[in-house]
Chain A
Amino acid sequence: MQIMKNIRNFCIIAHIDHGKSTLADRLLEYTGTISDKDLQDQVLDNMDLERERGITIKSHAIQMSYNFQDERYTLNLIDTPGHVDFSYEVSRSIAACEGALLVIDATQGIQAQTISNLYLAIENDLEIIPVLNKMDLENAMPEEVKDQIVDLIGCDRTDIIEASSKTGYGIDNILENIISKIPAPQGNIDAPLQALIFDSIFNSFRGIIAYFRIFNGKIHKRDLVKFVATGKEYEADEIGILQLKQEPRSVMLAGDVGYIISGIKTSREVKVGDTITHVDRPCEKAIEGFQNVKPMVFAGIYPIDPDEYEELRSSLEKLQLNDASLTFLPESSAALGFGFRCGFLGLLHMEIVQERLDREFDMNVITTVPNVSYRVKTNKGETLEVHNPSGLPEQKYIDHIEEPYISAQIISKSNYVGSVMKLCIDKRGTLKNQVYLTSDRVEITFEMPLGEIVFDFYDKLKSISKGYASFDYFQSGYKPANLVKLDILLNGESVDALSTLIHRDNAYEFGRKICVKLKELIPRQQFDIAIQAAIGSKVIARETVKALRKDVTAKCYGGDITRKRKLLEKQKKGKKRMRQVGNVDIPQQAFLAVLKLD
C-alpha cells in the first residue's frame, strides 16, 4: 500500500444556487487552470440547459495543480449532479473522493439536499471541509449558519472557512485546507487494476468516454480491460487526465482520476459505479456500491404529428447516447397512436428530456401522466412490473398491487412544519422522525408512496413553505396498496393516455379535480364535450365543456383584416399543437393536467 502524497481528490457538496459552480470556477482560476474569465462562466456546467437552470445535471471532473509549501499538488475536483433525481450518481462521485467541500450559502443555511449528500459523504469516510459561501452579501447570517454546521457535522467552529466565490475572499484558504486536511489517496500500484467509473459522456467522434478513479494498480494505453458489471472487454485506445481539454497519458496509477476511450458506441455499456480491471489479471472483487440504475418515473411520449414517430425514435436514441438513465420502449395508445413509454430517474429528469427533445431535436411531443413502477401480484403467484395504467391485468387476475415507497427528508423553517406535515399526510405519508437542527429549522422524515410525489408534491411543498422547505428522498422498498385505475372519458370514450392509478381513498376528489382542470384546458368546440372520471364502469365525476355557439368576427374592414388574420393564424398554430382523440381536440398541456391540480 502506497500513499500518493501529492494528489487530492475531492468533490463539492452544495444545494442548488449555493454557489458550487462559481466556487469551482474560482478554484480553476486561482490554480491557474483557466487564465481568466474570458472562458464561459461556470466551466463545469456545459450543457445550455444546465446553465440556464443553474444546476448541474451530469457530473464532470477537472484536474488542477497547486503549489503549497514548495510542493506541487494535483487536485482532482469531481463535480456532482445537484438534484434529487440523480442521487445514485452523486454517491459514485463521492466514492471516488477522499474529501468534500461542504458549501453552504451564508444567507440561506442548510437545505435538505445538502444533508442527504453530506450523509453520503460521511458514510464514505470523506473528510469534510465546511465553507460558508456568499459572505459578501449583506444579508449573510454567518453566526446562525455556523451554529447549524457545528450541530450537523460536529466540527470546530473555527474550522469553518468564510468565503465568497464572487469576490475571491477565502479561496486561498480553501485550497490550503484541501491539501492539509483531505487525506492523500492510498492504493497498491502493483495490485490488479481496480478503477471506479463515476461518469461518462458521449462524443460524436470518439463514442462514449468514461471517467474513472483508480483505486489500485495501474493502466497503460493499449491495455486490454474489462468492465466487471457488464462483462465487456475493450482495448484502451486512449487514456488521460481531464483538464480543460482531455490530456492523453501513456500510464496512470492508483489515486489518479482520468478518462478512457475504447470505442464504446452506446452509453448503456458504461454504467456508473462499474469497475474497470485488466482482462488478463483481474481484480478479485469489484468496487462496492454498484447498482443498476432503474427508472423511477414513467410516462408516455408521443409525437403530436403521428408521422413523426420514427423521428421521435431516432431523437430518443440520440438522447440516450449521453443519458444512459433514460429508457424507452415502443408502446401504443388507443388515443395517441404510436409512441414510447419512457423511464426517468425522476420528475426533473422527465422535464429535461422533454425540453431537450424540443430544443435539440425540434420535436413536438405529448407527455402523458407520469406514474411509478408498480408490482402486480397475480392470483397465480406471478409478479408483473407495470409501468403504465393501461398495462394492468384485469381485476380478476390481480391478487394485490404493490407500490414503491420512499423515505423523504424535508427541512423547513419551524413555522411551516404544520402545513408541511399536513401535506405529507394528505399524500399518504407516515411521520418517521422529526429533528430540530436549530431552534427554527426542522428536519422531518416521512415514509410515503413515490406515486404521490410524481404528481404535484414538490410544487405544493414549495408553495406552502414560501419556497423555504427543501426536499430529498431515496427509495425504501415496496408496499401493498389499495389502488384503483381511474379512467377519463371524453364524450363517453375512454382516453387511455389520461388514465391514472390512484389510491382508492383519494380517487373521488382527484377525479373531480381533474375533470374541472380538463374543462379549463379543453377549448370549446362545435358540440358539447362530456368529461367524466370513472372507476371501472362507475362514473364518479363529470363536467361539460359547452358547445361553441358562434365563432365569427362581426366586422372585417380595413383595419380589422390585419388584426383578425394574426389572431386566426395564432389559432391555427394552437390547433397544430392539439391532438384529436375521437372528435375532440385536446391541447398538449391537458395530458399533464394532473400535475397542475389546484
Chain B
Amino acid sequence: MSGIYIHIPFCKQKCHYCNFFSVASRKLQKGFMEALIAEIELQKDYLGNEQVDTIYMGGGTPSLLTAVEINRITENIYMHFNVSEDTEITLEVNPDDISQEKIEKLKETPVNRFSIGIQSFFNEDLKYLNRLHDAKQAVFSVKGLQDAGYENISIDLIYGIPTLTKERWIKNIRSFFKLKIPHMSAYALTVESKTALHWLIEKKKALCLDDEDIAQQFNILLDLMNRNNYIQYEISNFSKEGFYSKHNSLYWLGGFYLGLGPSAHSFNGYSRQWNASNISRYISLINYKEITFEKEILSEKQRYNEYIMTSLRTVWGCDLEHIQNVFGRKYRDYCLLQSEKNINEGTMVKKGNKLFLTTEGKLFADGIASGLFKI
C-alpha cells in the first residue's frame, strides 16, 4: 500500500493561522504545472513496485486547478505508476471555489473524494481566521457536491477559535451531522510561529487562545461524535465505518508515500525527504532534471519514536508485538515499562498486546508519546 501526495502551493489569500507552504500569487502556476509533470516522471521509481492506492491533492489551494490541469496530473501519474483500480483520489477544496459550474467541470475528472476546508459555519470565526468564504458558501459547497453524486466527502472544522463559543461549536458539529457527511477532520487552532496569527496575537491585534476552551471543545467534540456513531480513528479524524481516509491512514500506519511539489514530504520506510519550499527553484527542475530536497535517514530509535508518536494517536493503538518484531524485545520492554506510569494515572490502557490512549490521555498525546521515546 502506498500513496502520492501533490502539493499545490497557490492561494487566493493566506489564512492567518496557516503555516503550510503557499504563495498568494498565481503567476508561477503555469511553470509549476510543467515542473510537476516533469517531477512525476523523475520520481517514477520512488515507490518501487508498490501499488498506489491513494492520490491526494493538498495545498495551498488545489481547487484553484482547472479540470484540465487535474486530468493532466492524474493521467501522468497513471502513466508512470502502478495505480490500483479503486484508488482514492482526494481533492482539497475551498468553499469559495465551488460553484455549480466548477462542480460540472470536476465531474470530468477522476477525483472521487473531496476534503472541504469549511473550518466553521459562522462568519465571525471565518473572519478571525481570514478565510475567503462565508457560511452560505460553506453549506453550498457540501450540498452542491452531494447533489452531483459525490458521497465520499470530508470537511475540516477548527475549534478553539477565540470567537467560537461553546454553543457555536456545538452548532458547527450539529450542522455537520445535518449535512450527513461521513468524515470530519477537526483541528484545534494552533498558533504556529511565523504565521500572521502569531504576529497579530503578539501585537494584541487578535484575541488569544484559551487552553481551557480548547480542552472543553475537544471533549464536546469527542462526546458528540461518539454519540452519533462516528469513529475517532485518529485524534483529529472522525469517520463512519467504511469512510476512513486511505491517504491519512497511510501516514499513521507506516505506509510509503511520494510527495510531489514544493515542500512535499516523501517516505520510503527508512528515510524521509522533503522538497525545497521554493517555487522558482522547483520550476528549475525542468531544465536541470534535478529536484532540490533535504533528506534524513532514520535511525532505529527514530523509527521507533515515530511509530510510538503516530500509532498512539490511532484507533489501532500501539502494538507491542509489532515493536518486538520490528525493533526487538528491548524496545518492547522499554515501551511497556515507560507506559506503566500512564496506565496508572489513567491516560492509557493496555488491551491484550496493545496500548491505547484513553479519552483523558488524548488531550496529552504529545507528552505521553515523548515519555515513551528513546533518546
Contacts and interface: CB of A to CB of B under 8 A. Distances in A.
Interface string B46-62: 00000000000000000
Interface stretch (A281-289, A488-496, A553-561): A553-561
Interface in B193-240: 211-212, 214-215, 218, 234-236
B364 A572 contact: no
Contacts of B305: 565, 568-569
Nearest to A524: B211
Contacts of A553: 190, 365-366
A569 B366 CA distance: 10
A557 B251 contact: yes
A542 to B, nearest CB: 21
Contacts, number: 101
Given A552-B362, A554-B236, A561 B373 contact: no
A569 B370 contact: yes
Contacts of A562: 265, 272, 274, 296
Nearest to B266: A558
A157 interface: no
A567 to B, nearest CB: 8
Given A553-B365, A565-B305, A572 B259 contact: no
Contacts of B296: 562
A551 B215 CA distance: 10
A565 B363 CA distance: 17
Contact of A561 (B264, B309, B365): B309
Interface residues of B, number: 44
A569 B373 contact: yes
B263 interface: yes
Given A562-B274, A569-B373, A573-B375, A556 B212 contact: no
Contact of A558 (B234, B257, B371): B257
A526 B364 contact: yes
Contacts of A555: 187, 190, 236
A564 B362 contact: no
Contacts of A552: 188, 235, 362-366
Nearest to B20: A559
A396 interface: no
B211 A550 contact: yes
A572 B371 contact: yes
B369 interface: yes
A554 B159 CA distance: 10
Interface in A568-598: 568-569, 571-573, 575-576
A558 B306 CA distance: 12
A572 B375 CA distance: 7
B121 interface: no
A549 interface: yes
Contacts of B14: none
B286 to A, nearest CB: 24
A569 B251 CA distance: 19
Given A551-B363, A557-B251, A569 B272 contact: no
Contacts of B259: 558-559
B367 interface: yes
Contacts of B183: none
A549 B215 contact: yes
Nearest to B347: A526
Nearest to B360: A526
Interface of B is mostly: mixed
Nearest to A571: B370
Contact of B367 (A556, A557, A571): A571
Contacts of A554: 187-190, 236
B214 A549 contact: yes
B363 A558 contact: no
B175 interface: no
B309 A550 contact: no
Contact of A568 (B5, B251, B369): B369
A571 B367 CA distance: 8
A568 B274 contact: no
A96 B92 CA distance: 83
A555 B251 CA distance: 11
B243 interface: no
B263 A550 contact: no
A565 B306 contact: yes
A120 B342 CA distance: 63
B373 A572 contact: yes
Contacts of A549: 211-212, 214-215, 363
Interface in A508-564: 526, 548-559, 561-562, 564
Interface in B223-279: 234-236, 248, 251-252, 257, 259, 263-267, 272, 274
A562 B248 CA distance: 16
A556 B373 contact: no
B364 A551 contact: yes
Nearest to B214: A550
B99 interface: no
B314 to A, nearest CB: 10
B265 A559 contact: yes
B131 interface: no
A572 B211 CA distance: 22
A238 to B, nearest CB: 49
B310 interface: yes
B252 A558 contact: no
B280 interface: no
Contacts of B302: 565
B160 to A, nearest CB: 9
A575 to B, nearest CB: 7
B370 to A, nearest CB: 4
B163 to A, nearest CB: 18
B215 A550 contact: yes
B339 to A, nearest CB: 14
Of all A-B residue pairs in the complex, the 10 with the closest CB atoms, nearest first, are: A568-B370, A554-B187, A558-B265, A549-B211, A549-B215, A552-B365, A559-B265, A551-B367, A572-B373, A550-B363
25 contacts: A548-B367, A549-B215, A550-B211, A550-B214, A551-B367, A553-B365, A554-B190, A554-B236, A556-B251, A557-B248, A558-B5, A558-B265, A559-B20, A559-B264, A559-B265, A561-B272, A561-B306, A561-B309, A562-B265, A562-B296, A565-B305, A568-B309, A568-B373, A569-B373, A572-B375
Interface of B: 5, 20, 187-190, 211-212, 214-215, 218, 234-236, 248, 251-252, 257, 259, 263-267, 272, 274, 296, 302, 305-306, 309-310, 313, 362-367, 369-371, 373, 375
Interface of A: 526, 548-559, 561-562, 564-565, 568-569, 571-573, 575-576
Given A561-B265, A564-B366, A572-B375, 5 more contacts: A548-B211, A556-B309, A558-B5, A565-B309, A568-B309
